[in-house]
């Protein structure tokens, strides 16, 4: 008898192939957590952490997995899943330490710039030739380091440019480095990480993080106090200047002017400038042309909305840092529901911890759902599967119970497939739930239905029209 293949070995071989075919982020999120559990008669059983997980893999990676399993086990090779069900009923309430307040902006009122050297009378020593540089507080928040910044497709360019700049401040083509992107996508975090890394690698360099608002206020004060020279000199001696949210310079001509001169001085002297903004230079209004053209000298890198995998990774990292464990399904639910803004994602996570620890309630999917309903107010109300079924039935003039039955009559089958297709695309319900609502079908049937509808839309114009009419009706709830 041929010696039985070792299941662990088989899975390791599969992973090797898979690794080459998916991004490293996806690999980490979806494949590392899988455990092979047995192999008998060419059926490899793997264990996945949740139903959601299983569906995601089936939907996105099944072709790849099938191929690799067949390669390993021959044409007869098959795959089975074993799903660990989260036992939320027995989950204990989590007692958690709520992370220290708002880490977003470091407020340190004792440091006002241009700095006070503590040497009464000499407000700014830098204008005196030959005087040593005074230690400038960098104003950096240690929580915003590269170590806590998760990489994903959404931030790859900006992250790697940031890394390059940290290794050789002022010595790359990325000068200035302009990081732009929407609210809460990590601009401040990344800009600070660059500063932190440089401080670590080059302790002798003077790094300064400042928001454009603070810069503006200081400049106005300097005008009032008649010491704009000091102000200019102070900024011109910085080695790495990080200015956050430069869009606030818009319309402030004098401040822009001051910044322009500081920028030129630093740039000419090989010093590094890092800027962030909520828009790319071409879309910045109220900004002087000469300044905009400077912004374009280096690299503008954008931060985009993170994909599901990156959102999960960010939450996992936070949990780890806070020493908290959330049930996998809760984590997935959060990452799945909050899609556009990392700050909101973190906010939801923190309120969930707070709720649980204040009310001594376990963090369950139920609690997460209630909380998200309150938290994510502005998202459009989600249509329900029932509603979709009703619209589809009205449209094809079929009774609802027929659609919900198991019948295989042709006209019912198609309507049911269409309902599944919309439920998949317009609700957050799992494939299993959708299947259950539509005649007790399983997730594979739902997937098949979605593919069929997509194919028909590609090939049949009339069918495509049905679908778009239906879509309008469903959206008009
Ligand atoms: P922005 O400045 O673009 O508005 P922030 O840098 O303040 O956004 O980020 C908002 C929150 O999201 C911060 O708490 C930050 O730590 C977190 N965050 C953003 N991007 C990432 C990332 N890639 N990995 C981990 N945390 C992130
Ligand atoms: Mg910011």
Q: Domain boundary at 285, 303, 321, which?
A: 303
Atom of ligand 1 nearest to the CA of 306: 23
Q: Cα of 105 to ligand 2 centre, how many Å?
A: 8
**Domain match, 154 and 288 both:** yes
Dihedral sign of CA atoms 357, 363, 367, 371 in order? positive
Regarding pTM above 0.85, the answer is: no
Report the pLDDT averaged over residues 223-234.
92
User: Looking at residue 382, what is its pLDDT?
Assistant: 61
Question: Which of the two residues, 115 and 472, has the higher pLDDT score?
Answer: 472
Residue 98: what pLDDT? 34
Quote the pLDDT of residue 154.
93
pLDDT reported for residue 317: 92
Ligand 1: residue of 102, 186, 310 to mutate (most ligand atoms within 8 A of CB) is 186
Question: Per the domain annotation, does 54 fall within a domain?
Answer: yes
- Distances, alpha carbon 62 to alpha carbons 7, 153, 289, 396, 469, in Å: 19, 22, 52, 33, 32
Q: Which ligand is nearest to the CA of 245?
A: 2
For residue 196, the SS3 value is: helix
Q: Of the residues 274, 303, 332, which one is the last residue of a structural domain?
A: 303
- Contact by Cβ (8 Å): 178, 292: no
Collect all residues with Cβ–Cβ distance below 8 Å to 226 and sequence separation of at least 6: none
3-class secondary-structure state, position 214: helix
Q: Is 268 exposed, middle or buried (0-12, 13-18, 19+ CB in 10 A)?
A: exposed
Indicate whether 189 and 44 sit together in one domain: no
Among the ranges given (199-203, 360-364, 391-395, 442-446), the one the predictor scored with the smallest mean pLDDT: 360-364
Quote the pLDDT of residue 251.
93
**Interval 164-183 mean pLDDT:** 95
Q: Are residues 285 and 352 in the same domain?
A: no
In angstroms, what is the span from residue 145 Cα to ligand 2's centroid?
Answer: 14
pLDDT at residue number 133: 52
165 and 276 assigned to the same domain: yes
Give the other-Cβ count within 10 Å of 78's Cβ: 13
Ligand 1 atom closest to Cα of residue 103: 14
Instruction: Tell me the per-residue pLDDT of 144-166, one tens digit each, with 9 for 90 and over.
Output: 999 999 999 899 999 999 999 99
Judged by its nearest atom, the ligand closest to the C-alpha of residue 184 is 1
Amino acid 101: pLDDT: 34
Give the whole-number percent of the chain exceeding pLDDT 70: 86
User: Does residue 329 share a domain with residue 279?
Assistant: no
Same domain, 284 and 150: yes
DSSP H/E element including 144? none
Find the length of the chain. 477
Gap between the Cα atoms of 310 and 188, Å rounded: 18
Q: Flag whether 120 is in a domain.
A: no
Is the pLDDT score of 61 beyond 90? no
Q: Which mutation among 102, 343, 348 tests ligand 1's pocket best, with the greatest number of atoms within 8 A of CB?
A: 343
- Which pLDDT value is given to residue 127? 38
The domain of 45 spans 2-89
Per-residue CA distances from 231 to 228, 287, 475 (Å): 5, 21, 57
Q: Which atom of ligand 1 is nearest to the CA of 317?
A: 25
Q: CATH number, domain at 285?
A: 3.40.50.300
pLDDT at 54 > cutoff 60: yes
Q: What's the CA-to-centroid distance between 220 and ligand 2, angstroms?
A: 22
* Whole-angstrom distance, CA of residue 10 vs CA of residue 69: 8
Specify whether 176 is located in the same domain as 201. yes
Among candidates 428, 434, 419, which has minimal Cα distance to 388? 419
Mean pLDDT of 385-397: 89
96 neighbors 353 (Cβ within 8 angstroms) = yes
Count CB atoms within 10 A of the CB of residue 289: 7
Residues 156 and 271 in one domain: yes
Atom of ligand 1 nearest to the CA of 155: 23
d(CA 389, CA 19): 40
**What residue owns the CA closest to ligand 1's atom 9?**
186
d(CA 192, CA 390): 52
Percentage of residues in the chain having pLDDT higher than 90: 49
* Total Cβ atoms within 10 A of residue 63: 8
User: Which has the higher per-residue pLDDT, 199 or 55?
Assistant: 199
- Looking at the predicted structure, is the pLDDT value of residue 319 above 50? yes
Co-location of 260 and 351 in the same domain: no
Q: What is the CATH number of the domain that holds 13?
A: 3.30.300.180
| Residue 124: predicted pLDDT | 41
Q: Where does 138-203 show beta strands of DSSP type E? A: 177-181
95, part of any domain: no
Q: Assign residue 399 the CATH number of its domain.
A: 1.10.1750.10
Q: Which is the closest atom of ligand 1 to the Cα of 189?
A: 6
**Statement to judge: residues 260 and 217 lie in one domain:** yes
Question: Is residue 106 situated within a structural domain?
Answer: no
What secondary structure letter does DSSP report for 274?
E
35-40 vs 43-48, strand pairing mode: antiparallel
Q: Which ligand is nearest to the CA of 181?
A: 1
Out of 40-49, 225-234, 380-389, the most confident range is 225-234
Is residue 291 included in any domain, yes or no?
yes
For residues 188 and 210, the answer to whether their CB atoms sit within 8 Å is: no
Residue pair 124/228 in contact (Cβ under 8 Å)? The answer is: no
C-beta 311 within 6 A of ligand 1: no
**Whole-angstrom Cα distance, residue 369 to residue 320?**
22
Q: Residue 102: what pLDDT?
A: 37
Residue 94 binned pLDDT confidence (cut-offs 50, 70, 90): very low
Atom of ligand 1 nearest to the CA of 244: 2
Query: Which ligand number lies closest to the CA of residue 146?
Result: 1
The yes-or-no verdict on residue 175 having pLDDT over 70 is: yes
Same-domain pairing of 216 and 334:
no
Find the ligand nearest to 342 CA: 1
The pLDDT, as a whole number, for residue 111 is 35
Task: Look over the chain and give the mean of its residue pLDDT values, rounded to a whole number.
Answer: 84
- Position 316 scores a pLDDT of 93
The pLDDT, as a whole number, for residue 245 is: 97
Please write down the long-range contacts of 356-361, taking CB distance under 8 Å and 24 or more positions apart. Answer: 356/93, 356/94, 356/96, 357/93, 357/94, 357/95, 357/96, 357/98, 360/93, 361/93
Mean pLDDT on 326-339:
86
> Is residue 282 domain-shared with residue 368, that is, in the same domain?
no
Asked if residue 362 has pLDDT above 90, the reply is: no
Highest mean pLDDT, choosing among 50-64, 76-90, 163-177, 424-438: 163-177
pLDDT in tens, 272-303: 999 999 999 988 989 999 999 999 899 999 99
195 occurs within a structural domain: yes
Q: Is 179 in the pocket of ligand 1 (CB under 6 A)?
A: no
Q: Is 346 in the pocket of ligand 1 (CB under 6 A)?
A: yes
Flag whether pLDDT at 468 surpasses 60.
yes
**Tens-digit pLDDT profile for residues 35-51:** 998 888 888 889 888 77
Domains contained in the chain, number: 4
Q: Which of 1-15, 50-64, 108-122, 408-422 has the highest mean pLDDT?
A: 408-422
* Residue 176, ligand 1, Cβ within 6 A: no
Q: Which residue among 45, 65, 89 closes a domain?
A: 89
Q: pLDDT at position 103, please?
A: 34
Q: What CATH number should be reported for the domain holding residue 325?
A: 1.10.8.60
């Amino acid at each position: 008898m041929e010696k039985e293949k070792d299941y662990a070995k088989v899975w390791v071989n599969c992973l090797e192939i898979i690794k080459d075919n998916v991004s490293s982020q996806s690999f980490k999120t979806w494949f590392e957590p899988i455990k092979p559990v047995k192999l008998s008669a060419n059926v490899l059983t793997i264990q996945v952490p949740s139903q959601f997980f299983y569906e995601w893999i089936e939907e996105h990676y099944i072709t790849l997995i099938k191929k690799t399993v067949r390669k390993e086990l021959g044409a007869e090779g098959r795959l089975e899943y074993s799903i660990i069900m989260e036992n939320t009923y027995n989950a204990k309430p989590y007692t958690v330490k709520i992370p220290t307040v708002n880490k977003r902006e470091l407020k340190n009122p004792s440091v006002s710039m241009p700095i006070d050297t503590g040497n009464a009378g000499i407000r700014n020593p830098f204008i005196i030739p030959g005087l040593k540089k005074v230690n400038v507080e960098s104003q950096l928040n240690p929580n915003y380091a590269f170590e806590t910044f998760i990489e994903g497709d959404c931030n790859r360019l900006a992250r790697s440019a940031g890394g390059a700049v940290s290794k050789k401040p002022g010595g790359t083509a990325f000068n200035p480095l302009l990081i732009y992107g929407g609210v809460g996508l990590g601009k401040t975090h990344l800009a600070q990480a660059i500063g932190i890394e440089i401080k670590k690698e080059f302790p002798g360099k003077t790094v300064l993080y400042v928001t454009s608002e603070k810069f503006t206020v200081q400049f106005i004060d300097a005008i009032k106090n008649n010491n704009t020279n000091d102000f200019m000199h102070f900024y011109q001696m910085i080695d790495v200047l990080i200015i956050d949210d430069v869009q606030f310079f818009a319309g402030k001509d004098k401040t822009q002017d001051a910044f322009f001169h500081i920028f030129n001085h630093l740039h000419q002297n090989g010093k590094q400038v890092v800027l962030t903004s909520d828009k790319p230079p071409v879309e910045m209004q109220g900004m002087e042309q000469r300044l905009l053209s400077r912004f374009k000298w280096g690299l503008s890198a954008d931060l985009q909305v993170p994909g599901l995998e990156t959102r999960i990774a960010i939450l996992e990292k936070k949990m780890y840092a806070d020493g908290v464990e959330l049930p996998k399904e809760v984590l997935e639910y959060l990452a799945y529901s909050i899609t556009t803004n990392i700050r909101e994602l973190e906010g939801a996570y923190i309120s969930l911890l707070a709720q649980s620890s204040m009310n001594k309630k376990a963090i369950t999917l139920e609690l997460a759902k209630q909380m998200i309903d309150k938290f994510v107010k502005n998202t459009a109300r989600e249509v329900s599967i029932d509603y979709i079924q009703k619209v589809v039935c009205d449209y094809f003039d079929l009774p609802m119970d027929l659609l919900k039955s198991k019948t295989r009559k042709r006209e019912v089958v198609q309507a049911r497939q269409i309902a599944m297709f919309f439920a998949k695309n317009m609700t957050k319900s799992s494939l299993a739930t959708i299947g259950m609502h539509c005649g007790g079908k399983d997730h594979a049937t739902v997937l098949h239905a979605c593919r069929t509808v997509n194919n028909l839309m590609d090939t049949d114009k009339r069918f495509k029209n049905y679908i778009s009419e239906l879509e309008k009706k469903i959206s008009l709830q």
